[in-house]
Amino acid sequence: MTARWIRAALAGVAALSLALTGCGGADDEPSAGTGGRVTVFAAASLTETFTKLGKDYEAAHPGTKVVLNFAGSSALATQITQGAPADVFAAASPATMTTVTDAGDAAGTPAVLVRNQLVIAVPKGNPDRVAGLADLARPGVKVALCAEQVPCGTAARTALAAAGVRLTPATLEQDVKGALAKVKLGEVDAALVYRTDVRAAAELDAVEFPESARAVNDYPIVVLKHAGNPAGARAFVDHVRSDAGLAVLTAAGFQAPPNR
């Protein structure tokens, strides 16, 4: 417990000091319109795409620095409502975003950035011949799911219920990357994760299943009310929602939102 708490506390302190130095930096630089430091809290499943989008943004806006904090959306939402100094929040589900908007921590209405769907992640070559959700309930097949508290866990539960499949997972991981890691390490035979996570992992294959259409997750993004750099935050959100930004996200396996 202590290690995690200390880590969370340190992350908070680090983020705070970053925000403080960010403010100081903005004073030094007269071009601070969209300059300075943008602190983005993003869902774990956005790790690869937002890292790339952050670099693109920095390249397009010289003198800026995008600081990314990836974790389970619910943990991030809790951190934000507890006062963590972030400029932008990108969540993996509307429910986790609601935590932030209900607390009055969002500036404006969240926009749906992309959508994501669950797949079954299996080791390359699918050694257990998993063809659908029903195969995960077979005896001897070890499965990792996300905990219900995080969006990928909620989606997994919805999909399993839609398929009428009951299974006892080996573990309920605290975020989607945790579930993914357990398949990569070979400790479980399969995990329910996002399509984008499997596409980013060369050693895994994705098994698509029809029930995942019932558990599509919208990814909302919003500028936060207490943003230290609101102009930079808006510019970053515009950047990821631009056609170029959306292209990066769809290339990774995300689906464009219905209105695009």
Partner 1 sequence: MTRPARRRQRVPLALLLPAGLGLLFLVLPLAGLLVRAPWTTLPRRLAQPGVLTALRLSLETATAATLLCVALGVPLAWLLARVEFPGRRLVRALVTVPLVLPPVVGGVALLLVFGRRGLLGSWLDTTFGVSLPFTTAGVVLAEAFVAMPFLVIAVEGALRGADPRYEEAAATLGAGRWTTFTRVTLPLVAPGVAAGAVLCWARALGEFGATITFAGNYPGRTQTMPLAVYLALETDVQAAIVLSLILLTVSVAILAGLRDRWVGTA
For partner 1, the binding residues (CB under 8 A) are 1-4, 72, 74-75, 78, 82, 99, 142, 144, 147, 149-150, 169-174, 178, 182, 185-188
Q: How far is the CB of 188 from partner 1 (least distance, A)?
A: 8
Give exposure, 53-90, as e/b (b: 16+ Cβ within 10 Å). Answer: bbebbeeebeebbbbbbbbbbbbbbbbbeeebbbbbbb
Pairing label, strands 106-116, 143-146: unpaired
As a whole number of Å, the end-to-end CA separation of the chain is 43
Q: How far is the CB of 148 from partner 1 (least distance, A)?
A: 9
Residue 223 annotated as lining a ligand binding site: no
Length of the chain counted residue by residue: 260
Q: How far is the CB of 90 from partner 1 (least distance, A)?
A: 17
Residue 194 annotated as lining a ligand binding site: yes
Q: Give strand ranges (E) for the chain.
A: 36-43, 64-71, 88-90, 106-116, 118-123, 143-146, 171-173, 190-194, 204-207, 217-224
Q: How far is the CB of 100 from partner 1 (least distance, A)?
A: 13
CA distance linking residue 251 with residue 196, whole number of Å: 9
Minimum CB distance to partner 1 smaller for 12 or for 25: 12
Minimum CB distance to partner 1 smaller for 4 or for 243: 4
Q: How far is the CB of 156 from partner 1 (least distance, A)?
A: 14
Take residue 128 and report the two structure tokens written for it.
């257990």
Residue 74 annotated as lining a ligand binding site: no
CA distance linking residue 252 with residue 200, whole number of Å: 7
Minimum CB distance to partner 1 smaller for 147 or for 215: 147
Minimum CB distance to partner 1 smaller for 5 or for 28: 5
Yes or no: say if 222 and 97 are a contact pair by the CB < 8 Å rule.
yes
Residue 207 annotated as lining a ligand binding site: no
* Beta-sheet strand order (sheet of 36-43): 64-71, 36-43, 88-90, 217-224, 106-116
Q: How far is the CB of 130 from partner 1 (least distance, A)?
A: 17
Minimum CB distance to partner 1 smaller for 36 or for 220: 220
Minimum CB distance to partner 1 smaller for 26 or for 150: 150
Q: What is the largest CA-CA distance in the chain?
A: 64
The residue to which tokens 């009055």 are assigned: 104
Binding residues for molybdate: 45, 73, 176, 194
Binding residues: 45, 73, 176, 194
